[in-house]
Structure 1
Amino acid sequence: MATLNITYNGMSADLPMELDGHVADVDVRRIAVEVVRSGGMPGMHLAHLRDDAFQNYVVDRFRGPSGDERIYLRPKVPFGA
């Protein structure tokens, strides 16, 4: 089990997902567009979201204490290295 967290336009939401192995960053962005458009992301439904809405977003991956994968899709920030 994995959790996809999307931060977009000041909103943030989590979606538990079943994944079959590693999912490429480009596919994470595509999946995010599809679930946000369809209303499948709890608390975040934007039916007219552009195809490239997450093109310049960062995909971060972490393992939780129980080993579950957490995938964060977030905007790039203007600070840090």
Structure 2
Amino acid sequence: MATLNITFNGLSSDLPLELDGHVTDVDIRRIAVEVVRSGGVPGLHIAHLPEDTFNHYVVDRFRGPRGEDRIYLRPKVPFGA
């Protein structure tokens, strides 16, 4: 079980995901578009979200304190490297 955190338009929401093995960044962005469009993300429902909305977002992957996978989909920031 993994948790996908999507940050969009100033809002952030967690979504539990059942993933089979490693999922590419492209797939994470595609999944995010689909779940936001369908209303599957608490607090984020945009039925006509453009397909390319998350193309330039960063996908960060971390292991939580109990070993669970955490995936963050977030906008790029203008600072840091």
Question: Structure 2 length as normaliser, TM-score?
Answer: 0.99
Aligned to 1:79: 79
Aligned to 2:65: 65
What percentage of residue pairs aligned between the two structures are identical? Answer: 79
Q: How does 1:2-41 map to 2 (within 5 A)?
A: 2-41=2-41
Aligned-pair Cα RMSD in Å: 0.4
How many residue pairs align between the two structures?
Answer: 81
What runs of 5+ residues in structure 2 fail to find an aligned partner? Answer: none
Give 3-state SS (helix, strand or coil) of 2:60's partner. Answer: strand
Runs of 4+ in 1 over 3 A off after TM superposition: none
CA displacement 1:6-60 (0-9 Å, x = unmatched): 0000010000011000000000000000000000111110001000000000000
